[in-house]
Amino acid sequence: MVKYFLLIIISIAFTLALVAMSSLSATYYWLDLVTSFIPHLLMLSFGLSLILIFIKPKLATSIAVITLTTLLINLPITLSFNNYSDPSISVSQLNINYYNAEIEGVYNILGNERNNITALFEVNDTDRARFIELRGDHFDYGSAEIEGFPDGIGVITKFPILQRITHSVFENSVRGVIVELHLAVGHEKLRVFALHPPSPRNQKLWHKRNMMLLYLTNLLNQPHDIKHTLVVGDFNTGPLSQHFTRVDRFNTCYQLAGHYASWSPVKLPQPLYSIFGLTIDHCLLSDSLLLDTFTTQYIPGSDHAMLKYNIVLPKQ
């Protein structure tokens, strides 16, 4: 009885993961949502196959090998980073939660971090004074009345902002923007895109999210005289989704840093967070940039983890 129960659960989980990995997930809303759980489904299949070994050794071993292989193919693993001699730019990005009850503590943490670039999502307009205090003598996008934290986006940088562009994805709507900043980094220039597509709670929002990611893809595919580009965002999209932004000459932090989790509805210890959490916050780097270190950090009052990493602009 136990053997058949385990086989049924393994079959359902593994089949669902395979179907979610197919092109069908680009069309069907619910199947695209499942793509965020592909690693979890494969880990479940693998874990149950290990239990099955005690009941049906040969069959269970075959299942374990198949599920583990599929998992490793779809789960990037990075054991260490290279040590680059060129100066690096420290970056942090975080969805701080519009109604964070511990917002003062969050801004204290960010103030202690004081990174070269800080990208915040779900910045509440009532926290404008805190945001400006955090900015200090640096530069920012979002706090000016004319900008007003569109889609809750606020960016603080120690580098001068040469140009700021707000791309409106949807006509006649204040929601759905992609922020583009051109920064002066020494003698180089760096483009930074920041976006926060809607959470796909229903099909309408799912379509809007997909349209924003497609718009971003088109922006990144356009030729530009600035070769260094960084994309930061709460994508509300897993990296295995068919709608996730994939562009030639760009690498995702998920590829470069290995698997990580950035969202969980409940607070979990770090080892469990990495296993059971979802990967919906992302950064993309043009291939002219290098990723040097990458970590996540729990932030009080937010269901998102903060992504912290360094990027390197190699000297010519």
Q: What is the pLDDT of residues 9-36, one digit of tens each?
A: 999 999 999 999 999 999 999 999 999 9
| Tokens matching residue 96 | 């701080």
Residue 79 inside a domain? The answer is no
Residue 24 lies in a domain: yes
Q: How far apart are CA 302 and CA 101, in angstroms?
A: 9
Mean pLDDT of 303-316: 91
Please determine, for residue 138, whether its predicted confidence score (pLDDT) is greater than 70.
yes
Distance (Å, whole) CA 176 – CA 174: 7
Q: How many domains in the chain?
A: 2
Which long-range contacts does 61-68 make (Cβ < 8 Å, 24+ apart)? 63/10, 66/14, 67/10, 67/14, 67/42
Do 144 and 21 share a structural domain? no
DSSP state letter for 278:
B
Supply the range of the domain harboring residue 162. 88-312
Q: For residues 2 and 165, what is the distance between their CA atoms, to the nearest angstrom?
A: 60
In a domain, 216, yes or no: yes
Same-domain check for residues 68 and 103: no
Is there a single domain that holds both residue 112 and residue 189? yes
79 vs 315: which has the higher pLDDT: 315
Let me know whether 93 and 128 are in one domain. yes
Which of 74, 105, 125 corresponds to the end of one domain? 74
Average pLDDT over residues 150-173: 94
* Within-domain flag for 81: no
Judge if 209 and 247 occupy the same domain: yes
The pLDDT > 90 percentage for the chain reads 79
263 in the same domain as 289: yes
How many Å apart are CA 162 and CA 316, to the nearest integer?
22
Please compute Rg for the chain using Cα positions: 21
Which pLDDT value is given to residue 75?
86
44: in domain: yes
How many residues are present in the chain? 316
Does position 114 have pLDDT exceeding 80, yes or no? yes
Do residues 26 and 237 lie in contact, with contact meaning Cβ atoms separated by under 8 Å? no
Domain boundary among 50, 74, 98: 74
Mean pLDDT, the chain, whole residue set: 93
Are 100 and 196 in the same domain? yes
Q: Are 254 and 164 in the same domain? A: yes
Question: Are 107 and 171 contained in the same domain?
Answer: yes
> Does 36 share its domain with 95?
no
**Does the pLDDT value for residue 50 go beyond 80?**
yes
Does residue 148 register a pLDDT over 70?
A: yes
Rounded Cα–Cα distance for residues 310 and 120 (Å): 17
Asked if the structure places residue 20 within a domain, the reply is: yes
Q: Does some domain include residue 83?
A: no
In the predicted model, is pLDDT for residue 147 greater than 90?
no
The last residue of one of the domains, among 44, 74, 104, is: 74
**What is the model's pLDDT at position 261?**
95
Instruction: Using pLDDT thresholds of 50, 70 and 90, give the confidence band for residue 265.
Output: confident
Q: Is residue 80 part of a domain?
A: no
pLDDT at 54: 84
Tokens of 269: 């210890």
Do the Cβ atoms of 216 and 177 come closer than 8 Å? Answer: no
For residue 80, pLDDT over 70 is answered with no
Give the mean pLDDT of 254-263: 94
Examine the domain organization and report whether 245 and 134 are in the same domain: yes
Q: pLDDT per residue over 272-285, tens digit each?
A: 888 899 999 999 99
| Cβ atoms < 10 Å from Cβ of 186 | 9
Residues 138 and 244 in one domain: yes
What CATH number should be reported for the domain holding residue 156? 3.60.10.10
Nearest one of 64, 70, 110 to 91, comparing CA atoms: 110
Span between the terminal Cα atoms of the chain, in Å? 65
Q: Look at residue 216 in the predicted model and tell me its pLDDT.
A: 98
E strand residue ranges, 34-176: 88-95, 117-121, 139-141, 154-157, 161-168
Q: What is the pLDDT of residue 86?
A: 75
Whole-structure pTM value = 0.93
